[in-house]
């Protein structure tokens, strides 16, 4: 039986050495509780190394993402200070980076469960456009839900957009349009409702999930609500652009 400590150690080594591993579920039955325990060990390891937890991320909250990854349930992970990036990726820092457009929330106060779209919006100080950088520590991004949970939901980085808006100044987050381009050509389009019907519903999902263990989302957290479209690979020379209605454009290149 592989325990959370061994899982965290294997994932940490994979990230450090840029050597992807096969998913644990190929060999063992991994339950979600053990997977989240391993995830938290990885977070603690980075905190011991001098980083801070700056927020959280939701994953697999849109149909586009669930279908492309073959996992049909949302999950969450944690964002660390070292993950805040400008748009210029150093390709060698990653195994096989991918980029995906997201709507990010900055919480002005603590968000505890029970939470709803309304309570999320009233706790939100600002919304931003974002591009999340994913880098699965598993070969070919192949995993089942417990594997990707343990791997901190493939989190590797986040590039925030240039515009911060009060949530009620954005006409309607459900209708907020996003155009994703690679080398200038449109590869996907989406609106905010792609994420659980309303991106704030993803943040509420996280608050309600944490409430099950008596936790809340701390004030000042950045919360990524989940990819609106499927993710695109970022190889050397790739330029990915995500344009958001009213929230500006985020560009990422390697």
Cβ neighbours of residue 26 under 8 Å, at least 6 residues apart?
Answer: none
Least distance between ligand OOG and beta carbon 1 (Å): 25
Tell whether residue 101 is a contact of ligand OOG (CB under 6 A): no
- Check binding of 148 to ligand OOG (CB under 6 A): yes
Binding of ligand OOG by 20 (CB under 6 A): no
Angle between helices 32-48 and 4-17 (to 10 degrees): 50
Q: Quick one: 167 or 227, whose CB is closer to Mg ion?
A: 227
Closest CB to ligand OOG among residues 57, 181:
57
How distant is the alpha carbon of residue 110 from its chain centre? 20
Beta bridge partners of 124: 107
Residues 6+ apart with CB under 8 A from 215: none
DSSP 64: H
- What is the footprint of ligand OOG within residues 114-133 (CB under 6 A)? 132
Contact code string over 117-156 relative to Mg ion, x by CB under 5 A: ---------------x------------------------
Min. distance of Cβ 230 from ligand OOG in angstroms? 8
Contact indicator for 98, 135 with CB cutoff of 8 Å: yes
What secondary structure letter does DSSP report for 23? Answer: -
Q: Does 136 participate in binding ligand OOG (rule CB under 6 A)?
A: yes
Q: Is beta strand 75-80 parallel, antiparallel or unpaired with respect to 239-244?
A: unpaired
Binding positions for ligand OOG, rule: CB under 6 A: 57, 59-60, 65, 69, 100, 132, 134, 136, 141, 148, 153-154, 226-227, 231
């Amino acid at each position: 039986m592989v325990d959370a400590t061994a899982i965290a150690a294997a994932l940490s080594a994979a990230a450090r050495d840029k050597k992807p591993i096969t998913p644990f579920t190929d060999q063992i039955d991994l339950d979600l509780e053990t997977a989240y325990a391993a995830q938290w060990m990885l977070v603690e390891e980075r905190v011991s190394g001098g980083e801070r937890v700056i927020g959280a991320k939701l994953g697999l909250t849109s149909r586009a993402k669930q279908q492309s990854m073959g996992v049909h349930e949302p999950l969450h992970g944690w964002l660390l200070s070292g993950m805040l990036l400008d748009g210029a990726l150093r390709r060698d820092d990653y195994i096989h980076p991918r980029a995906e457009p997201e709507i990010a929330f900055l919480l002005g106060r603590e968000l505890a469960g029970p939470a709803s779209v309304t309570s999320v919006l009233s706790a939100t100080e600002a919304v931003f456009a974002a591009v999340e950088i994913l880098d699965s520590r598993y070969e070919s991004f192949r995993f089942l839900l417990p594997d990707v949970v343990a791997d901190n939901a493939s989190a590797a980085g986040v590039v925030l957009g240039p515009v911060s808006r009060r949530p009620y100044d954005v006409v309607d987050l459900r209708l907020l349009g996003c155009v994703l381009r690679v080398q200038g050509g449109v590869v996907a389009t989406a609106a905010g409702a792609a994420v659980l019907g309303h991106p704030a519903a993803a943040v509420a999902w996280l608050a309600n999930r944490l409430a099950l263990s008596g936790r809340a989302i701390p004030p000042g957290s950045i919360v990524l609500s989940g990819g609106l479209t499927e993710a695109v690979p970022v190889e050397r020379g790739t330029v990915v652009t995500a344009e958001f209605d009213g929230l500006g454009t985020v560009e990422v290149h390697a």
